[in-house]
Chains A and B, each alone.
Chain A
């Protein structure tokens, strides 16, 4: 494994993008940063600018309004970078499956490539850590 990949695995900077989520997933993500779960142990920090990020964390469904924004943000992320879909919503549209503002058959992974899915409505913080660990093993 090259030094570059090793360093990348030790220092993931996360940009949190909430498309039309119900905010429950977002709260669980904030939980990750609290003393109890403390993801800074693994070098994971939340950054405010997509240009600094290695991971694009998407919560919520991608509706018609959000779609171009999600695409744009993905293009702005410096590669190599990952996309993690948190929650049933972003993985497979969840309970918003049949609503009018969502394009038919267009969950997140049809819009941008997704590297890891973390199911749950909302997923527990432990599940999110587990997902990230699985992503890193890949």
Chain B
């Protein structure tokens, strides 16, 4: 019975279906706002769903010389990762008792899975362009993970060294959200920058680079596996901001009027993402590395030090 409930949670409510639906809607908001910024009409609201259904109905081509198993397995890895993180966050949000010690660390690890799946996909497809994309993705992961983890250390320090989502949430409920203190605010800024890279959006879409690498690691994918990649991306667009909301902005309430406030927090982060995406050119990989290991890591370290002094 318990197993059944867990499966339901994983597949339907906070897990796969829910995240996918909201994620696809969020990706539509992204495209629509982008279009409005460029003074265009933009696609209709069901665009994300149409894309996915269409891709599922298409032929899957295996490139010659590709490693078949990795090629087909890679997209599922990313999808499983993002679904798990999403279920985790929501379950811990709804019922704090289900949270366990160290789940924030697990969530951090799982959030890297989509990037790893991209890397695997690129190397498995036996295509020089995809390999370049993958190697760029590796460098990008190396560059943004350091400041991202440092930023997450701040709320952990604030809540007295608790490494469970519940601990961080209840501390925020008692003392106000992490981002309302100086160190928390700086950490949130760092988190937003890293989020942009995690989502692979401009200016950090270096590994996909549509104009030069034409899709990078996923260049050789078609049909259902490509749909899984697109879906993973849309789901990340929902999950990563929710993660930031949980650790920095007091979490998501699911009762009464505070649902509106929670939605507002998410929309705010989404708009920030879209604005960054639309007002910046793409960086080169070495510039991104320098950016993340230089100023951003510096900021994150300052935030950690401030948090240690209790600011």
Contacts and interface: CB of A to CB of B under 8 A. Distances in A.
Nearest to B219: A49
Interface in B211-245: 211, 214-215, 219-223, 226
Contacts, number: 83
B4 interface: no
B309 interface: no
A51 B57 contact: no
Interface in B2-59: 31, 35, 38-44, 46-47, 49-51, 53-54, 56-59
A31 to B, nearest CB: 13
Interface residues of B, number: 32
A40 B31 contact: yes
Contact of B226 (A3, A11, A52, A79): A52
B60 A78 contact: yes
Contacts of B46: 10
A101 to B, nearest CB: 28
A43 B43 contact: yes
Interface string A62-101: 0000000000000010111000000000000000000000
Contacts of B47: 10-11, 43
29 contacts: A3-B53, A4-B56, A6-B50, A7-B49, A7-B54, A10-B46, A11-B47, A11-B50, A11-B54, A35-B39, A35-B40, A38-B40, A38-B42, A40-B40, A41-B40, A41-B41, A43-B47, A43-B50, A43-B51, A47-B214, A47-B215, A48-B219, A49-B214, A49-B219, A51-B219, A51-B221, A52-B215, A78-B61, A79-B59
Interface of A: 3-4, 6-8, 10-11, 35, 38, 40-43, 47-49, 51-52, 54, 76, 78-80
